[in-house]
A and B are shown apart, each in its own frame.
Chain A
Amino acid sequence: MEFVVEEGKLVHEECSTLILPALSIGNVGQLAVDLLVSSTAAERVGYLDDLNLLPCVGNDAYGPLPCGDIALPLEVYESSSTATTLAQQRSPVAKGMMIKFAENIAEFAASNGKKDVIVLASLDFQRLHNLDLSRGPQVYYLSNTESDGRDDHCERLGFGRLGEYDPEGRCWKYLSSVFDKNNKEELSFPSEDELEDIDYYPSLPFAALFSAFKARGLKVTCLLCYCSEGDNIPDAFLLAEAASKLTGLTPDKFHGEEGGKWRIPYSWKSMYGAPPDMSMF
C-alpha cells in the first residue's frame, strides 16, 4: 500500500489519531466517516493506493457544491484543529484479500506516526441477543487496552463492551496469529464452510483491522452499533457522535450547518436515488 501525498499538501505529524471505517452492513462506518470529514472541514491530504482495493471514482463527496474534485477509493483527510486523520474507504476489498488489506493499512498507520486508531463499523441487528430498548440506541466497543476488550474511558462514556469478543476463540486466535510476525504457531485458515454462529464477529472486516492494528502495537478501539439494511443515516450519526466523544472533540471544533455540529455531505442528497418522476401524475 502506497501513501501518495496530494500535490501541494503537507502531512501534519500531530494528527496522531486515525479514524477509519470497516466495511459493514448498511455502510454505517463509511457514512459516519463522511459525516466527520464534512463536519470538521477536514482537508484531503493524500490517497492510499492498494492493489487489493477494487477501483472506483466519483465527484467530490462533500461540497458544499461538487466542484469536480475527483474522489478515489481510499483517501486520507486531516483535521489539524482536532489532530485527527480520517481515512475514507469507498469500495470493497477484493474477495479473500481482507487480511492482507488490514495488514497494509496497519503498516501505513504505524509508519506514519499514528498512535490511536478508531474503527467505525456496524453489526447485523439479527445477531443481537440481548435487546434493551430502555437505554436507547447503544454503541458497543472493543478495545485492546485490556485483554478482554475492556477500556475504562469507553465504560465511563457509556459504551457497552462487546461481550461476544473471545480472544481464545479459534477465529480470533487465528487473526491474532496471522498478524503477529513473531508467532511461530501454525493455525489453519478457517474455511468459509466451517464457520459457525460464534465466528460471525471475527469474520467481519472490523475484526481484521482490530487484530492488525493491535499487532502493530497501536491503541485501537472499535466503535460498533447494531443495525439493519435500510436508511442508515441515524446509525451514522450515532457512530460519528460516539467517535467525537471518544476523541474528546468539543462542539467548537465542528463546522456544522446553521451553527450546529454536523454538516451533511453533499453526496448524501442522492443516496437513495432520484426522486420519483412527477410527470406521470
Chain B
Amino acid sequence: MIRTILRAGLILIAIHGAARAAEIVAELSSSTAMPGEVVTLTITVRNAEDVGRPRIPRVSGLTIRLLNTEPTLHQQTLIINGRVSRQVDYTWTCAISAPRSGNYTIPPIRVTADGETLRTESIDLVITKSESGEPLIVEVDVDRAEAFVEEPVKATLRVWIRPFRQSDVVLTPEQMWSRALINEQETRFGTFQQPQFVGQRVRRSPDGGAANYYVYESQGTIWPEEAGALSLGEIRIVMQYPVSISRDFFGNLGLQRARTLSASPPTPPITIRPIPTEGRPPGFNGAVGRYTISASATPTNVRVGDPITLTLTIRGIGRLDRVPAPALSELEELTRDFKVPNESLAGQTDGYAKVFTQTIRATHANTREIPPIPFVFFNPKSARFETSRSAAIPITVREASQLSLSQVVEAEADRPRAARALVERTEGLVANYVDMNDVLTPQDLSMPTSWIVMLAACPIAYVGAWFLQRRSIRYREDVRYRRRAQAARTAHHRLHAARSASRNDAAAKVGHALTGYVADQLNAPDGALTRDEVRRLLNEKVVDAALRDELDAMLADIEQAAYGGMAGDEMRGLIERAEAVLRRLERVRW
C-alpha cells in the first residue's frame, strides 16, 4: 500500500528543484536486544523516482521479515528564500529478531533506484541474554524421532512466558496471554489450536540457571505429507512483553512500557521417511496405517446382469478421510465374474470407518460368490505393506430371461413391487438421548424404596396371617382359651345387665359378673363359685392381697345386698365398685 504524506507549508509559485543524488539510509530501532525481542530496521531511499524493492540478505541466526512489500512514500516540498527544493522518501520496515544471543552483522542491503544500485552500510546488532531468563520461549515436542509419511505424529506446541513482576504485582497467566499483550494479527499457531494455560513450571537453561514460567500448551496430531522435516505450518508468537505497568485512577492495571517479542519454535527433531518403493504390492494406492476391510452385498439372489450393491467398509487406525477405495476394476478375481465400473469411489467417512459403495453385475450364472476384496496398506509400525481381505460373500446368480424390449417395458409396468426381506445392520451408532429429564436427572443404583417395602412386607404379611390363623384355630378348639379371651367382655356385659335389673336381681348379677370372671379365667364351672371358692382360687393364683381382700369384701357386700336389699343409689355405687375391681382383675396375669 502506498501512503502519501504531503507536507507543504507554502503556496507553490514555481518548482525549480535542483537535482540531487539518490541516497539510502538504514537505521535500527535499537542496536541491542534480547533473544526473541523484535527490533525494527528502517530502510529509506531519498531523491529517487523509480525505486525497486530492497534485497534483504540472509543472516544466520537472525529472522528478518519485510513488513511492507510496497514502500511508504514521504514527499516534502520546501521554498526557502525563493529557492524551491523537493524531497521524496521511500521507506521500508523490517522486523528483526534472534532466538539466541550473539553479535550479528547485517550486510549491506541493496536497492535499485533510477537504474543505480544503492547499498546501505553494514549494521551491527548485539543480542544479549537476559539475566532472568528468556521471557518468551516457543517449542514443539513430538512423540517420536522418526515417522513415515501419513503416519500420525502427536505433537505439543508449548509456549513458555516468564511472569511479569513489578514490586508486589505479578501478572496472572490469563493477563500474560491477553489481547493486550499477545499480538493476534501477527501470531500464528500453524497446525495447532490456540494454546491454553496448563501450569506454572521451572525451566532450567543450559548454563544452569532456572526461572519460573507460565506454560501454555496445545496438543495436536500431525499427518506428515512429505518426507524430510515435519511441517508444522507457520508458528510465531508475537507479544508486547511489559517493561513497566501502572495503575489508573480506578486501580486498574495498564501497560506503560513494553517491548515487542517474537518467537518461533526450532524445527522438531523428527525425520519423516517416505513410503518405501521396494516391495510395494500392485494394489497399494497410498493408504498408511492399520486397517481391516469388510464387505457386504445386497441383493445376493440375482439374475445375470442385475445390479448388486457392494458395500466396502474400511476401519482401523489411520487417516480414514484420505483412504482411497480399492481399485475394484483392476481386481482380476472380481472382474472375472462381474462387470465392475471403472470409476473412482469417493466414500463416506464417519469417524471410525470409511464406507464405499459400488454397483457390480454378475456376468454369468456360474458365479457362486463375490470373492474376498483385498485392501493393501502400508503399516508404519511394522514398516511393511500388509493386506486385509474381506470374507467371500456367497451369492446365487440365475440366468437372465431373454425378453424383447417391449416385453421388458410391459413387465416392468405390470410387475407388482416385490416384498423385500429387511436385513438389519448391526453397524453404526444409535442416536443420542435428547429428553431433558432422561439426560439431566441424577441416577443411582440404590434399591428403590418400593422394593425395600416389598421385601419387608411379604414376610410380615405371611407371619401376620399365620398368627391370625393360629389364634382363630385355638379360639375355635380350645374352650379354656376362648373363656379367658371372652371373660372380660362377659363380665362387663353382666354388669351392664345389672344396671337395668330389679333391685332383687341386680346384686346377684353383679356377684355373677365377678365370680363368673374368675371362673372364666381359671376355667372353673360357671355359676358354681362361692365366695369361699373364689378366695381359695385367688390364694392359689397368688393374686395381690389387697385386691383379693377388696374382692372378698365386695362379694360380702353383694351377699348382704342380695339377702337384705339395697337402695337404688347404693346399688349404683356397688356396680361402680364392681367395675373398678373388675378393671383391676383384668390386669392380673392368670
Report whether chain A binds chain B: no
Chain A residues within 8 Å of B, Cβ to Cβ: none
Chain B residues within 8 Å of A, Cβ to Cβ: none
